[in-house]
Structure formats: structure tokens, C-alpha cells
């Protein structure tokens, strides 16, 4: 989902920056609030960030013969909300843009918007919905991870389609980009879902109180 440096026209770079910045600021305020008011959450917050660090560094092979990486944003999304996830994702994306030339500074706004905002937000709202339906917790977290991951790539495809309409328009190029990203991503998102379900199960057994506190139980 990293759009390469310089591969979005200037207009779209600015456009996505403007949409992303408020969420990142909101996330920064959330984090400083957690540090002030709920210091017992600090370690779990670090773990949520670490989960993004690990999973987004793994370039995994898919049955399509390409590699792509999971996003790891599900944990932060359900524990601390999409805005905090936007901040954590920004840290990872800046690291990758500056040190790895993976993604870029010009495309950072777009990448934060897909991986840090829309993906986690969809996961977060799906979580709320499944929770109200009293679906099993394992199913809830699996769905969150899969949806956050896949939606990130749907948004990247849309961002590229908007910037590069094919002769048949935005819709045609959206389908072209989805064909590259989404098909490769489906098995990886399922893998991410399984790993996240395991990790969340472990987490909720080792720190039940902190998880309950975050869910408002």
C-alpha cells in the first residue's frame, strides 16, 4: 500500500495530507491523554504500536506470486481507536519513508490515510457492530484484522485510480489497481487475522483488566 515517492501528482499529495493531518493530531492528543490519565495503559499501547512495526515489516509471499505486507493496525484500532492508530501508523510510515525509501514523504499523507485512518476506522466500526451482535470474541478480532488490512489496500487502489484515471475513467483504473493489490492481499489478510486472533487471545488472558477498561466493560 505504500505509494512510491513522487508517484502521486502534487495536488493529490496535498489533498491527502490535509485529510490525514487532523487525525494524526487527534491521535497525538489521545496518546498524551493516556500518558497523563491512564499510565497503566502505556505498556499495552507500546505493544499495539509494536504489532504494527512487526507486521508491516514482513513482506509475505501470496499465491499470486507477488509479495505484500500486512498492516497490523487491528490491535491499536480496537484498544485505542482509529485516531491513535493513525499516529502509530505515521511513526512506522515515516521510518519506512526515510530509512527504507519505502513509500515517501510526498505520499505520506495518502499512506497515512489508507493504512492509519480508513483501514483501522473500518475495523473499529466493524468491531463495535459485531460486539453489539454478541458474536464470539475470536470472530470479532479476526474480522477486525482482516477488514483493516483489506480496506487499507482498497483505499490505496482508490487513491491511485483518482490520480491516474484510465481511458475508461477512474472506475476502470480502480479495478486495475484492485486487481494488483486486493487479490494478493486476501491470503495475507487471512494470515494476519489468524495471527491477530492468537495474539489477542493471549493478551486478553494476561491483561484482562486493562482490556476490559479499554472496551468500557
DSSP symbols for the chain: -PPPTT-S-HHHHHHHHHHHHHHHHHHHHHHHHHHHH-GGGHHHHHHHHHHHHHHHH--EE-TTS-EE-----HHHHHHHHHHHHHHHHHHHHHHHHHHS-SS-STTHHHHIIIIIIIHHHHHHHHHHHHHHTT--HHHHHHHHHHHHHHHHHHHHHHHHHHHS-BTTBHHHHHHHHHHHHHHHHHHHHHHHHHHHHHHHHHHHHHSHHHHHHHHT-
Least distance CB 188 / other proteins (angstroms): 9
C-beta of 84 vs 173, nearer to other proteins: 173
C-beta of 90 vs 96, nearer to other proteins: 96
Rounded distance between C-alpha atoms, residue 23 and residue 184, angstroms: 28
C-beta of 49 vs 119, nearer to other proteins: 49
Least distance CB 217 / other proteins (angstroms): 20
Least distance CB 166 / other proteins (angstroms): 5
Name the site residues for other proteins (rule: CB under 8 A): 1-7, 9-10, 43-44, 46-47, 49-68, 92, 95-106, 160, 164-166, 173, 176-177, 180-181, 184-185, 187, 190-191, 194-195, 197-198, 201-202, 205-207
C-beta of 19 vs 94, nearer to other proteins: 94
C-beta of 9 vs 22, nearer to other proteins: 9
CB within 8 A of 23, min separation 6: which ones?
82, 83, 86, 112, 116, 117
Least distance CB 132 / other proteins (angstroms): 26
Least distance CB 86 / other proteins (angstroms): 18
Least distance CB 164 / other proteins (angstroms): 5
C-beta of 132 vs 167, nearer to other proteins: 167
Amino acid at each position: 500500500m505504500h505509494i512510491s515517492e513522487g508517484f502521486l501528482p502534487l495536488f493529490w499529495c496535498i489533498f491527502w495530507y490535509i485529510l490525514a493531518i487532523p487525525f494524526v493530531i487527534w491521535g497525538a492528543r489521545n496518546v498524551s491523554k493516556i500518558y497523563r490519565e491512564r499510565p497503566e495503559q502505556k505498556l499495552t499501547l507500546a505493544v499495539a504500536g509494536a504489532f504494527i512495526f512487526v507486521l508491516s515489516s514482513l513482506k509475505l509471499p501470496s499465491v499470486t506470486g507477488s509479495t505484500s505486507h500486512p498492516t497490523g493496525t487491528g490491535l491499536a484500532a480496537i484498544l485505542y481507536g482509529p485516531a491513535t492508530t493513525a499516529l502509530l501508523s505515521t511513526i512506522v510510515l515515516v521510518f519506512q519513508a526515510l530509512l527504507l525509501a519505502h513509500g515517501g514523504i510526498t505520499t505520506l499523507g495518502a499512506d497515512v490515510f489508507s493504512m492509519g485512518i480508513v483501514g483501522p476506522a473500518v475495523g473499529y466500526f466493524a468491531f463495535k457492530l459485531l460486539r453489539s451482535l454478541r458474536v464470539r470474541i475470536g470472530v470479532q478480532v479476526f474480522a477486525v484484522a482482516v477488514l483493516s488490512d483489506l480496506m487499507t489496500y482498497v483505499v490505496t487502489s482508490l487513491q491511485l485510480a483518482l490520480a491516474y484515471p484510465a481511458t475508461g475513467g477512474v472506475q476502470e483504473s480502480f479495478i486495475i489497481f484492485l486487481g494488483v493489490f486486493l487479490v494478493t492481499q486476501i491470503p495475507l489478510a487471512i494470515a494476519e487475522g489468524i495471527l491477530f486472533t492468537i495474539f489477542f487471545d493471549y493478551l486478553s488472558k494476561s491483561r484482562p483488566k486493562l482490556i476490559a477498561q479499554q472496551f468500557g466493560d
